[in-house]
Each structure stands twice: as structure tokens, then as C-alpha cells.
Amino acid sequence: MENKETVLVTGGSGFIASYCIITLLNNGYKVKATLRSLKKADLVKQMLKEGGITSFDDLSFAEADLQNESSWEKAVEGCQYVIHVASPTPHTDARKEDDFVIPAKNGVLFVLKAAKQAGVKRVVLTSAFGAVGFGTSKATPYTEEDWTVLNDSVFPYQKSKTISEKAAWDFIKNEGAGMELAVVNPTGVLGPVLADDFSHSIQNIKQMLNGNMKACPKIVSGYVDVRDVADLHYKAMTLPQANGQRFIAVAGGGYSLLDIADILRKNLDGKAARVPSKELPNWFIKLLAIFNPKLKAVEPYLGMVKKASSEKAIIMLGWKPRPVEEAVLATANSLIKMDLIK
């Protein structure tokens, strides 16, 4: 394609963002990736190489920070599209809700304002299932019609995702005339790791393979392969019918952590020797959590069943996610290949 269009991908060193960059480069777009520090550019290239990219001619980098509004005007110059993946991962010392919520909401608004000024056609925002299915419980799968209800049971991270996604829709309605928005809401993201920086869901698989998770907490949630998340962002950016819509990214209903462990044990033979084969009762984890701060973080999720439907993306955009089993094994095999299992 002559005069290639340019896409700004924010938070370029992240797990989802790096796969979005790979998908865009493979589809003939130019990509400008934002990083908080350009020192990370070599790491990003290393990850993209691991993901099969051989030429970086169509890739450039810009320094931008979600806390710094003026950095975005320069970053978005010359871009026709924006895929806004970056979300502040608060420092571990973030205690207050505001440490999550304020940077997430401001970051979204800084990027949207800069995009509007630069004449960007469409922004695709990476939100999360955290903005769909918390603060409520449902027997039927969650859909895009559902929104997280902000009450005391909702964690600061999910609150930040809900508030920042709502702020994006409000911006488009009130100030975004002429600019389009589509939103992707991924569930737990799995898939081949490209470096030792990856999603929380992959941490679970790593702990299972390492033997750090002796038995599984009872938690049921949705999962999706990162390659399919990137493909859904691409479809949300390019297909006319995606404008003004949100799309849940999930492959097949919900899986318990024990289901995930079973997939590993069934398929990985000796490499899965330390993977747990039983579930822990909730009361036991609550007891252990008194002494173990890591388990304290798991406690509110115990007994939770969060199933979601991706019917909308499948029907409206022709999206075809790979089965969860394939995503789980791709995750495990890449962790083993990259020597990330001890």
C-alpha cells in the first residue's frame, strides 16, 4: 500500500501492545510506538523479533507519559489511527484508589484530546473485562451491555478501567465530533510470551509450572490468546461497523484454575510434574491469607464465577479466537522455551 497509514500504539513495550504492533506491521501499516523512556526501544525490537518481525523500517518510537499531557500532542502527530493500550500499572506502593484511577482516566483523556487535535480518524481503546463484570454477579455470561457497578467490592484496578472507559465514551459524545471510538475488553490474556514482561494471567501458569501453586484456588474466569486480542484490535480499527462499539475478547465461556492445570498436565508430560491436581477450599485460603500477603490479593476472588460471551465480536466482526487449550499450551511452551521456568 503506497503512502502507508500510521498508527500510534501507546505503551509499546506491553504484552498486548507488542502483539498489536506485530499485527499492524504484518498488515502493511506504519507504527509509531510510545514508551515512557526510549531506553526501552531495543527491548521492544527484541520482543518483535521473537514475534517474527524481521524489518523495522516501518516502526518508530516516541516518548510519552500518561501523566504528562503535552507529551501526547507530539506523539500523535502524523497518525491516522490510535490504539491506546497503555494503562498505568501503579507502583507497588500505590495504596489509594486515586493512585490507580486518576492516571488511568487522565491518560485516556490526554490521548483522546491529542488525537482529536491531530485529526485522527479512529481510536481503539484497550479497556478490560474489569469494566464489564464486577460489582455484580450473574448466572448468565456477561455481554457488552453490562458495566461494572462501582461499589466497595470492586478493586481499584477494575475501578480505574471502568472510570477511564466511561470517560472515553463521554469525551466522544461531548467533544469528539468527527472522531470514532471502538473499545476492546479482554478477559485474562494468555499466549506466547516475548520477554519476561507479561500479563497477570500468565503469572498463574508460571506459578503452576514452577510448583509455587500447590493447589488451585476456586476461581472461574474467561481467557483469551493475546494474538486474538491483537486481531480484535485490528478489526476494531479497520472495520466500519466497529465504530461506537465495545467488544469483549474471550475464548469460550469460563475456566477454573483447575481446568487450566488439567490442560497443562494432560499435554506437557514431565514438564508439568509440579502442576497442582486439586482445588483448595475457600476457608483454607482465607486462613492462610492471614499470614501470606500474596494470598490476601487472591482472597476477594475466591468462589468467583465470571463467564463472558464474545458472540458480538464473532458475529459483527468475523473474529475467530483460538481455543483456550491452545492459548494455555502456547503460554506454557513459550515460558519453557525462554527459560522462565525454574
CB 22 within 8 A of CB 230: yes
Separation of first and last alpha carbons in the chain: 46
Task: Retrieve residue 315's grid coordinates.
Answer: 458475529
In the set 159, 161, 235, 306, the catalytic residue is 161
Q: What is the DSSP string of 316-334?
A: HH---PPPHHHHHHHHHHH
Alpha carbon distance 201, 257 (integer Å): 10
User: Grid coordinates 473485562 are at which residue?
Assistant: 129
CB 29 within 8 A of CB 56: no
| 296 carries an active-site annotation | no
Contacts 24+ apart (CB under 8 A), 148-153: 153/300
CB 32 within 8 A of CB 71: no
Alpha carbon distance 186, 334 (integer Å): 21
Which are the catalytic amino acids? 161
